[in-house]
Chains A and B, each alone.
Chain A
């Protein structure tokens, strides 16, 4: 992946993963183009800040990648503690302010701790399994600590209430645990239990607006002007785009405001209306390249921590992409998860780039080659 230094370009710059960065530039650049159109042919209010944010976040990612995986390994629990503290703080501020709150205003930047928890939980669970002696993998000691580690932040985020983020956090931890080698029957059993508990949770655990999102997902046309509106309009935008799309700046669903959230959660529909199936496939290929890079880093890494983190973070980004696209195409309920690199929004961009930065870090320092098996 790394470009070789040819002597003219300074080594630190030549060492940057240029292919990856080109890919990210393409995705974010395409995002900016779509946002430019969504604003009716204007760089403001979305396209320019989007590019700026991307640039800053990419810088942050490169910065993160400059620290070795060992550093992040040491920092994992402190970071976990800090983010958890922020979640509690947000909850308390919400209680005092009398309403649900998800953001921490730090003056220059508003932080959404639940977003930060997504990569953090991956690091934390990965670290736990790194430390867990191989002999204990099939014991109860391998199960309860990750559950506790995931439990606290999930409960706090669920209180906000933010079901989508909760699911992403839990899923991130679970996938790491899965790849760490917990017995398969646990996952099969948990899946079966979920199938039983999900209906119960639906009726007793969800807020009415969340229930409506789920029922609407089942039949969007049942409530075309209410909760099903987003899904219907999104499908109309994508479907009317056809193979080649209506053309840049020619989307009517987005420009006439039929498509709600056309610059954030439903940015893919905005894109698909103007760029058609071709644009959609291009984006899917872009993400596929990104994920395969992430998994290759994981497989190439020689440390257990590195492997779990790289694969876990890749999966975290994948969750964003897949849930968002399923929602936009009417395959999942509307849960308010943005599409990485394309949706306008700071917090998610930050999270994604932190993930990228950490994977880059592992990419740079795969660790000492050792063990009996080579890949």
Chain B
């Protein structure tokens, strides 16, 4: 070789090549080519060794995940049951169809085909198309659930032509009480992208699996969820199942028992009728919440199935705000409902029940005269309560000092946030001199005492607080409201009131309903049970706009009523609030019927059914017809704004959280 190269160099000046040199060149270059080939061969061997040895584990796993299709079987969700074991939320076996966006080849054609197979409405098609665009990858989009076998089979047999479509037998959530439990229980839905991205749990994108989205469904997610089952099948690349390998069945989620009496709750929701309001009933022995109704509401059944666009729009535009749980998040000036409590506060501060004032259509407090709503003459504590005399409370609140009254109100649960498994509660305000100083940097004035003494001014409370206040006042025990059924009945501590004081206030409140009081129509239609209560009216706007009754709906006064029964041995305490009901007269019939239901279901149902006839059916029927009307109205583009129901936002009650 060396010799040859020298020869080559020597011949270079001639620029010609001899045959012999060509042969050498050939040999040299052939060896070069062969060498390159050998090197490439070694590189290939190295590459193969790298893939099959160094990366063997990884590729084995990939090959296995190719071969074995692990299908998660969504666990059956734990039930919600009420205190008697009656289901509030259960699962219904059904057939369903989902689409896995990632696997769909032609979205439009697939949706069209499914629409004709399953008789989908235009709105469903719009929703599915929208979700198909929004959701990513393997997140399933629900096409339809609750299908009968024929339709399910119709889709199943066409599967080879519908890639990405997944029909399954599964379970869907059912809420027998429908809209009545919407706010309390919440609803379930498929996990959204953010929820899935959090820990990439494959269960979250399993078709048919839903997580709690709101209310208690969301709060008890962990225990309700259960553990998924799994089915391992060997599949070909085209998805044909070769053999089933193993199946592990799911472990259903644990049931959650609530302290609720769902029948009572449902009754209360129905009894609210077309009003916007809420009813809370508390067990006076344990503090368990028997009813936490807020209406109007949404139907969690349709939310859980993927709500239609127009249904959601309908809920959003409603000025009765069906998307807010008013029992916890509605804040209202408690009005006169605080009077029995204030009276108890006075008793604690040494005021004697017999201490009386003269109401002359009002009373001078400090150097100003403040009006009472009536002229009550000589008024002692009992009269002050059952006649709801403002002057009495102006006077003694001023005498005792509102700082002390406010402290007492806090002890009874006003302004409190209770330890409940709910997403949020608005806890309102109990005004006091120190509070005002801190909040506004202004001194407390006489008129502040006057306003606060009758539950107006800065005073704000939610219906649950009113019910708790009423229950504590009625029993003298520090009842804690709770939603979850207690394993053993709690023994609430005494609040330290004297028995005679408790008996006095109970009796005065009994007279509100059964004596010379303000709510005679609230009397229970029962022989042996006497109701004790207190009315309340909360002004929404100043009297200049109207008298609070005969004016536009959103300017009408809120009607409030708190009560308990039986008056001498309280078993149940209740608060009812009707937004813009035009006064307490809207609230106490509701409370009366709800408490009647506890003692005599027949009688209560009879009066409800008669009312529902006037209202146009039960909740479900009314919602269906209202929605149909809304859709029809939306269908033809009538000019907006000409109708009075257009501005929903302005009618919401004042909200304040401090």
Instruction: List residues of chain A with CB under 8 Å of any chain B CB.
Output: 134-135, 137-138, 175, 178-181, 233, 235-243, 252-253, 256-258, 272-273, 276-277, 280-281, 284, 287-288, 291-292, 295, 298-299, 304, 307-308, 311, 315, 318, 322, 325-326, 329, 331, 371-373, 375
Contact = CB atoms under 8 A, between A and B. Distances in A.
A86 to B, nearest CB: 29
Contacts of A372: 20
A235 B58 CA distance: 11
Contact of A256 (B17, B38, B53, B237): B237
Interface in B1-41: 15-27, 29-31, 33-34, 37-38, 40-41
Contact of B48 (A135, A238, A295, A371): A238
Contact of A240 (B48, B62, B234): B62
A134 B23 CA distance: 10
A284 B37 CA distance: 11
A274 to B, nearest CB: 12
A271 B499 CA distance: 93
Contacts of B21: 134, 181
Contacts of A240: 56, 59-60, 62-64
Nearest to A308: B26
Nearest to B42: A284
Given A134-B19, A239-B52, A253-B67, 12 more contacts: A138-B16, A179-B26, A236-B66, A243-B52, A252-B63, A252-B66, A253-B63, A256-B234, A258-B237, A287-B41, A311-B30, A373-B24
A329 B44 contact: yes
B51 interface: yes
B232 to A, nearest CB: 14
B382 to A, nearest CB: 81
Give 8 nearest A-B pairs by CB, closest first.
A239-B59, A240-B63, A181-B25, A257-B237, A135-B16, A252-B67, A240-B59, A256-B236
B626 interface: no
B407 interface: no
B17 A138 contact: yes
7 contacts: A179-B29, A181-B25, A238-B59, A258-B67, A280-B52, A295-B34, A329-B48
Nearest to A132: B22
Nearest to B65: A236
Contacts of A331: 44, 47
B547 interface: no
B59 A288 contact: no
B56 A242 contact: yes
B17 A371 contact: no
A150 to B, nearest CB: 17
B235 interface: yes
Contacts of A239: 51-52, 55-56, 58-60, 62-63
B109 interface: no
A371 B20 contact: yes
B37 A329 contact: no
A178 B45 CA distance: 27
Contacts of A315: 33, 37
Contacts of B45: 280-281, 284
**Most-contacted residue by chain B among A236, A287, A288 (CB, 10 A):** A236
Find the residue from B37, B40, B49, B242 having the highest chain A CB count within 10 A.
B37
B238 interface: yes
Interface string B351-393: 0000000000000000000000000000000000000000000
A372 B67 CA distance: 65
A242 B63 CA distance: 12
Contact of A178 (B31, B33, B56): B33
A373 B20 contact: yes
A256 B30 contact: no
Given A284-B44, A284-B45, A242 B25 contact: no
B222 to A, nearest CB: 34
A304 B26 contact: yes
Nearest to A329: B47
Select the residue from A178, A240, A257, A277 with max chain B CB neighbours within 10 A.
A240
A152 B21 CA distance: 31
B527 to A, nearest CB: 76
B23 to A, nearest CB: 6
Contacts of B22: 134, 137, 180-181, 304
Q: B-side binding surface: helix, strand, loop or mixed?
A: helix
Contacts of A236: 59, 62-63, 66
Given A304-B22, A331-B47, A138 B59 contact: no
Given A137-B22, A242-B56, A298 B30 contact: yes
Contacts of A233: 66
Nearest to B54: A239
Nearest to B44: A325
A308 B27 CA distance: 10
Contacts of B29: 178-179, 181
Interface in B503-521: none
A138 B30 CA distance: 19
Contact of A277 (B16, B25, B30, B48): B48
Nearest to A277: B52
Contacts of B19: 134, 304, 371
Contacts of B235: 256
A230 to B, nearest CB: 12
B37 A322 contact: yes
Nearest to B27: A299
Contacts of A371: 19-20, 23
Given A138-B17, A239-B59, A284-B41, A304 B23 contact: yes
A292 B30 CA distance: 11
Nearest to B56: A242
A256 B67 contact: yes
Contacts of A243: 52-53, 56
A299 B30 contact: yes
Contact of A242 (B17, B23, B38, B53): B53
A364 B4 CA distance: 29
A134 B237 CA distance: 59
B1 to A, nearest CB: 11
A283 B130 CA distance: 54
A328 B505 CA distance: 91
B17 A137 contact: yes
Given A236-B62, A252-B63, A373-B20, A257 B52 contact: no
Nearest to A287: B41
Contacts of A178: 29, 33
B66 A238 contact: no
A179 B52 contact: no
Nearest to B19: A134
Given A236-B59, A287-B41, A325-B44, A295 B30 contact: yes
Contacts of B62: 236, 239-240
Contacts of B24: 373
B494 to A, nearest CB: 70
Contacts of A257: 236-238
Nearest to B62: A236
A36 B421 CA distance: 65
